[in-house]
Amino acid sequence: MAREPKKEIILGVTASIAIYKSCEIIRRLKQEGLSVTVVMTEEAEGLIRPIVFSSLSGNRVYRDMFDSPVDYEIEHISLADKADLVLIAPATANIIAKIAGGICDDLLSCVVCATKAPVVIAPAMNENMYQHKITQGNIEKLKDLGYKIIGPVRGRLADGRIGLGHLASVEDISKAVKKGLKMAA
């Protein structure tokens, strides 16, 4: 009996201090039988090395629109096409604003713009940034466009204060991915 191919999750990783949780997200999604390919923003590389994500996912990590091509495909299109779901976790105010505004100036924002797959976004940032009217307006715009937002929770933030902006739990993110895959099927 032929095995059903693994569902492909494109995991977008941005420069939030919550980036370390992306490692556990990869582990959890792989335990669920999913394939995970990571697309990092340039700023995210300032917090964690791509080799960590490559080791955990077992796949190449994509970082730049103009990396030397391995197979001479247009990467943002091929990644967008192979995605069964795009997950951005953690998502900064910057990437949320870019996507809401249709700005495609890095590989991750181009993948999101080019995909027909469901997109799930898990914000993580300082409480003031999360609650800012512009960020909230961008989140509402994305919701209206059909993007699934997994809101942050109250917790310890990078500045040491407790506030709303802490990345949702790995369990909640995993549940949202599974639900998004079912809705896309």
Confirm whether pTM is higher than 0.85. Answer: yes
Bridge partners (DSSP) of residue 163 are: 155
Q: What is the pLDDT of residue 64?
A: 79
Domain ranges of the chain: 8-184
Average pLDDT rounded to a whole number, residues 87-116: 96
Asked if residue 169 has pLDDT above 80, the reply is yes
CA separation, residue 94 to residues 27, 40, 135, 161 (Å): 26, 14, 9, 21
Instruction: Fold for 8-184, please state it.
Output: Rossmann fold (3.40.50)
Query: What is the reported pLDDT for 2?
Result: 52
Prior bond of 90 cis (ω within 30°): yes
